[in-house]
Amino acid sequence: MIPAAFEYVAPASVEEALAALAEHGDEAKIIAGGQSLLPVLRMRLNAPEWVIDLGRIESLRGVRDAGDHLAVGAMTTHHDVGKDALVHEHALLVSKAISHLADAQVRHRGTFGGALAHADPAGDLGAPVLALDATMVVQGPGGTREVAAADFFVDLFETAISDDEILVEVRVPKHTGWGASYEKFVRIAHQWPIVAVAAAVRMDGDRIAEARVGLTNMGSTPLRATAVEEALVGQPATTDAVRQAATHAADGANPPTDLNGSAEYRNHLATVLTARAVLAAAGRDAT
C-alpha cells in the first residue's frame, strides 16, 4: 500500500529537528532508516502529517572512541556499526548481534538508534546493549540527558524517549578482551528471532571471572539474565557448569505465546541458547 500523504522535512542539525518536533508535536514522526517506520506507514497503521528525516544530520553518524566507552551516533547504520574496528575490539557482542540482524539490504539502511528507539522486543540490539550496560543519550528542548539501558526499554515498542526528544547517541562501555556470542533461533534465515541470547564473558584462566547475559523476545522488553550471570562467576567454563548456570535463564521472564511457539517452548530455548552463547563466548565448543 502507499502511505497516506505527509509533509517532509530533512533538517541539517539536531536543533532544527527538535524545533520541527516542537512545532508539529503529535502530528510529527521521526524517520531514521525507515526500515520499521515505512512498513507501518505503508500499512497505514500510522499516518503522521509530518515526517522529520534525520538522514542529513552528519553529527549523528559514526563510532567514536570516548575513553572508557564507544560513542555510537544514533544514525550510524547497522552495516557501519557491524564492520567498525573499534566496535569489534571493544564491544564484540554488538558486532556479533549485528551479524545476525536481518539481511544486508536492511543493515545498509536501518540505524543503530532507530532500532533501539523502535523497541521491538524481538529486535536484536536491545539485549546486547542492555547486557553491556550501555547509556542512551537523548536530546530535547532543555538539552541532553542520559538514560541507562536498564531504564530505557519501558514496554512493547515503548522507550524512555519523550515525544519532544531524539535519541542522539548510544554509549557502550568498553569490554575489551571479553569473548562474546549472539545465539539467535529462527525458523528461516534473516527472520526476527523466536528467542535470542547475547552473552559476553571475561575469562580468568579457565574460569569465568565476569559474565553478561541479555535475552531477546523473552518479554515485552529485552531482559538481563542476572541469575545466570551470578551463577557463572568463578565457575570453570565447562559444558556441565555452564549448562547448570543456564537453567536460571528464564527466571523472571515472561515470554509471549504466539504462532512461533509457546511461552514454555521459549523458556526452554532460552536455557539451551544461553548455555551455547556462554560457552561460545568463553571460547568453548558447545557440543
Q: How far is the CB of 113 from ligand FAD (least distance, A)?
A: 4
CB of residue 54 to ligand FAD, shortest distance in Å = 6
Mark the segment that binds ligand FAD (CB under 6 A) among 23-31, 222-230, 241-249, 275-283: 23-31
Q: For ligand FAD, which residue of 95, 111, 135, 274 counts as binding (CB under 6 A)?
A: 111
Taking the complex as a whole, the smallest distance from the CB of residue 142 to ligand FAD amounts, in Å, to 16
Q: Are 251 and 287 in contact (CB under 8 A)?
A: no
Question: Which of 11/284 has CB closer to ligand FAD?
Answer: 11
By CB under 6 A, residue 76 contacts ligand FAD: no
Q: What are the grid coordinates assigned to 179, written together? A: 569473548
**Per-residue binding letters, 32-61, with ligand FAD (x by CB under 6 A):** xxxxxx----------------x-------
Q: Is 30 in the site for ligand FAD (CB under 6 A)?
A: yes
Binding site for ligand FAD (CB under 6 A): 29-37, 54, 74, 101-102, 106, 110-111, 113-115, 117-118, 123-125, 161, 166-167, 192
